[in-house]
Structure 1
């Protein structure tokens, strides 16, 4: 993979702020032609620096009033049990992101639910009954002080 130069970093920073910027606007900001910006963007996409483009949606406007972080401690790490647990995590629409961790919890799940009853169902009827799960602890988000931001480039 080629190394990134200062212009690549400035392009990535601009795209993180606003992925809708046209090549013309990016060219003006970076002092490049639109075609140069287009070629750089295509190269950064092809090399995997840019993984995709997404719209950021407003959870509250969509009726998702509860955001929570759910930590899961496993009772076993048997591959077949872990595989079925991971499949649940991957297929549940409430789980918007998930991480494996070091420390007491094995997994951290970020979830969005319509209400507390929906969160309760997810925890008590989906996660806890899984045979590999030993413990589930949830932390309900009261307020998000900083929106998910760009990577520090």
Structure 2
């Protein structure tokens, strides 16, 4: 994929479906200034070319009772590829870990974690996170207020 392949209308389509994945084709076509059939063809091409990976619903943390968001800095004492692979596989299976990034700097990984409350978070840390393969230390930063979430990717 090369963003030089995207024209103004492709970019407008990507922006619109990123904001509302369930936008009806008729409204999408009107928004981007096309008739419905060419708009549907372009959307299909953008999907097939991999610009759109998937569609999904954004759930409400509040409605689900997940009041705590934490960013967890995970460190390893031993940097072994097999150990890191095991850690990553286990992280993928834990639903309350929303994201995991292998990073440079003082931490090896940064995780975004949700929990019902601080007691739930403490139990998760003690019983699950600290027990993951390779983990020698963890440091948490709790979100006090979410300013921006899942803003979507910039469409150049």
The 2-side partners of 1:53 and 1:34 are apart by 20
The 2-side partners of 1:6 and 1:129 are apart by 49
CA RMSD of aligned residues (A): 1.4
Aligned residue for 1:61, secondary structure, equals coil
The 2-side partners of 1:151 and 1:68 are apart by 22
* Structure 1 gap segments, 5+ residues each: none
The 2-side partners of 1:136 and 1:108 are apart by 10
Q: 4+ residue runs of structure 1 moved beyond 3 angstroms? A: none
Equivalenced residue count is 153
Query: What does 1:104-119 correspond to in 2, within 5 Å?
Result: 104-119=106-121
| Pairwise CA distance, 1:82 | 1.3
Tell me which residue corresponds to 2:90.
88
The 1-side partners of 2:105 and 2:88 are apart by 19
The 2-side partners of 1:9 and 1:131 are apart by 42
With structure 2 as the length reference, what TM-score do the two structures score?
A: 0.91
* Structure 2 gap segments, 5+ residues each: none
Query: What does 1:47-86 correspond to in 2, within 5 Å?
Result: 47-86=49-88
With structure 1 as the length reference, what TM-score do the two structures score?
A: 0.93
CA contact (8 A) 2:90 2:132 kept: no
